[in-house]
């Protein structure tokens, strides 16, 4: 070992990766008295702060403001086509990131007592990591390196300029014609945002858009984007990508016919890949696949001293899952308490307009698995607050199992991401739908959609002929 690498740090926990999950472990463990080393090779805050959740929602907020001006005539307000200063939009996005960044900064974590090393990390053996010319020997390690945009093997893509979510938010000029490869949440959110900010947008997907979501709910989102002018092409094969003058061109096979689509810019939003390169996981006896690090239900790798959390663990790729994983690891690593990850009640939200939120089983999944169930639903069009705000698209759909237990819920409509939490609680705590139906919802609020959906479960029996007979019989004795 050279003199440059002879400096050894001893720690209780060494966290590799300064994204949301890694930061949660580091902050929590340090404040509870553990010796913590945190290694981050790029930007603290990870993908969520710098390239994902935060900038995308900031851009969507700008797009929502533009759309509010554009559509305000429906309220009797002077609606008109807004003027978009895209440089100022970019500054707004970057300003939101900058406002949050100090909370995730190396300085803050050093103030908490964490030793922060800003360098790449690699395992030397089962108990040692090298980073920035220092060796870290720790009782436990946490791999929290996240994921990066997956680049599909499309002919010509490597020779063609394109955006991913890691580069899109640095753009300071309005995009004339944007082509989006991928109809998942990221692709559709960015398609709608740019359309509302003045771009022509085409979305290309090999299957149906939002394929993981309830098909009926996904259609609501797809149709809204289509109504706003986004050209969505589903079930197409991308044959090649190439430069076209100062822009790009994508050749697709659609319905047996070849079509060439030209644009000024290309966004690739075709999934994610786990960040495992350069970690030398083999040296530590840690198994992994292209999906990510192999973990058990306690988030332990094949090296039981090492945990993996968040996107790199190969499960649901959400910031809130990484934070959930962090709590499970802290309980085990610091307090030796048995804790297992349960992903059956993980919610997710697509932040298009209208939003689409889901937790638990969909009706299609219950049907495919042979799970006995019924479906209760209520539409936004029947909700007075939605009518007042002219946001009547969408519905709440609840999957109910034996004994009235809530198995899952889907909400598509205004603020669906805010409305899904009661159903997350219901699925997590194995509540019966009567618990939601009997709650008092303030009027007029969108939250009544959930209460009324729950109440709809009881409608067939409550207003049945049998009930009528019982009521008529009891009335004879009053």
Q: Is 189 annotated as a binding residue?
A: yes
CA-wise closest residue to 375 among 216, 144, 157: 216
Q: Is 79 annotated as a binding residue?
A: no
What's the half-sphere exposure (Cβ side, CA atoms, 13 Å) at 119? 14
CA-wise closest residue to 217 among 394, 365, 381, 378: 394
Q: Is 232 annotated as a binding residue?
A: no
Q: Is 184 annotated as a binding residue?
A: yes
Q: Is 57 annotated as a binding residue?
A: yes
Q: Is 147 annotated as a binding residue?
A: yes
Q: Report residue 224 as tokens.
A: 């809204």
Question: What's the CA gap between 383 and 452, in Å, rounded?
Answer: 9
Q: Is 91 annotated as a binding residue?
A: no
CA-wise closest residue to 371 among 358, 380, 379, 362: 362
Question: What's the CA gap between 194 and 201, in Å, rounded?
Answer: 7
Q: Is 255 annotated as a binding residue?
A: no
Q: Is 266 annotated as a binding residue?
A: no
Q: Is 33 annotated as a binding residue?
A: no
Matching residue, tokens 């790009």: 248
**Binding site membership: which residues?**
57, 145-147, 182-189, 271, 311
**Binding site membership for FAD: which residues?**
57, 145-147, 311
**Binding site membership for NAD(+): which residues?**
182-189, 271
């Amino acid at each position: 070992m050279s003199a440059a690498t002879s400096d050894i740090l001893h720690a209780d926990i060494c966290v590799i990766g300064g994204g949301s999950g890694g930061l949660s472990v580091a902050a929590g463990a340090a404040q509870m008295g553990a010796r913590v080393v945190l290694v981050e090779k790029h930007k603290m805050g990870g993908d969520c702060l710098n390239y994902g959740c935060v900038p995308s929602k900031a851009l969507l907020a700008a797009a929502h403001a533009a759309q509010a001006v554009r559509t305000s005539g429906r309220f009797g307000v002077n609606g008109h086509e807004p003027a978009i200063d895209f440089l100022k939009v970019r500054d707004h996005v970057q300003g939101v990131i900058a406002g949050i960044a100090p909370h995730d900064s190396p300085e803050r974590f050093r103030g908490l007592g964490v030793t922060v090393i800003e360098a790449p990390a690699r395992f030397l053996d089962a108990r040692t990591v090298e980073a920035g010319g220092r060796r870290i020997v720790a009782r436990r390690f946490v791999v929290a390196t996240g994921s990066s945009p997956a680049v599909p093997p499309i002919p010509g893509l490597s020779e063609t300029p394109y955006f991913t979510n890691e580069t899109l938010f640095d753009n300071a000029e309005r995009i004339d014609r944007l082509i989006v490869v991928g109809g998942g949440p990221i692709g559709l959110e960015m398609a709608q945002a740019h359309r509302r900010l003045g771009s022509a947008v085409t979305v290309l997907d090999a299957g149906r858009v939002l394929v993981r979501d309830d098909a009926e709910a996904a259609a609501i989102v797809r149709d809204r984007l289509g109504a706003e002018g986004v050209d969505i092409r589903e079930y197409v094969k991308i044959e090649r990508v190439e430069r076209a003058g100062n822009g790009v061109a994508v050749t697709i096979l659609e319905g047996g016919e070849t079509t060439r689509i030209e644009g000024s810019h290309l966004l690739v939003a075709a999934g994610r890949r786990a960040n495992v390169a350069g970690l030398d996981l083999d040296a530590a006896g840690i198994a992994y696949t292209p999906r990510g690090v192999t973990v058990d239900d306690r988030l332990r790798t094949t090296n039981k001293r090492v945990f993996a959390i968040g996107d790199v663990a190969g499960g649901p790729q959400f910031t809130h899952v990484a934070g959930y994983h962090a709590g499970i690891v802290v309980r085990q690593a610091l307090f030796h308490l048995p804790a297992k990850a349960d992903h059956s009640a993980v919610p997710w939200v697509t932040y298009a307009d209208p939003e689409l939120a889901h937790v638990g089983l969909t009706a299609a999944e219950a049907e495919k698995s042979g799970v006995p169930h019924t479906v209760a639903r209520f539409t936004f069009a029947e909700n007075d607050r939605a009518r007042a705000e002219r946001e009547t698209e969408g519905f709440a759909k609840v999957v109910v199992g034996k004994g009235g237990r809530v198995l899952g819920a889907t909400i598509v409509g205004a603020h669906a991401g805010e409305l899904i939490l009661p159903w997350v609680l219901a699925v997590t705590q194995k509540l019966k739908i009567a618990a939601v139906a009997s709650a008092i919802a303030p009027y007029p609020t969108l939250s009544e959609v959930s209460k009324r959906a729950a109440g709809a479960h009881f409608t067939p029996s409550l207003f049945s002929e049998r009930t009528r007979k019982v009521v008529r019989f009891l009335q004879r004795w009053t």
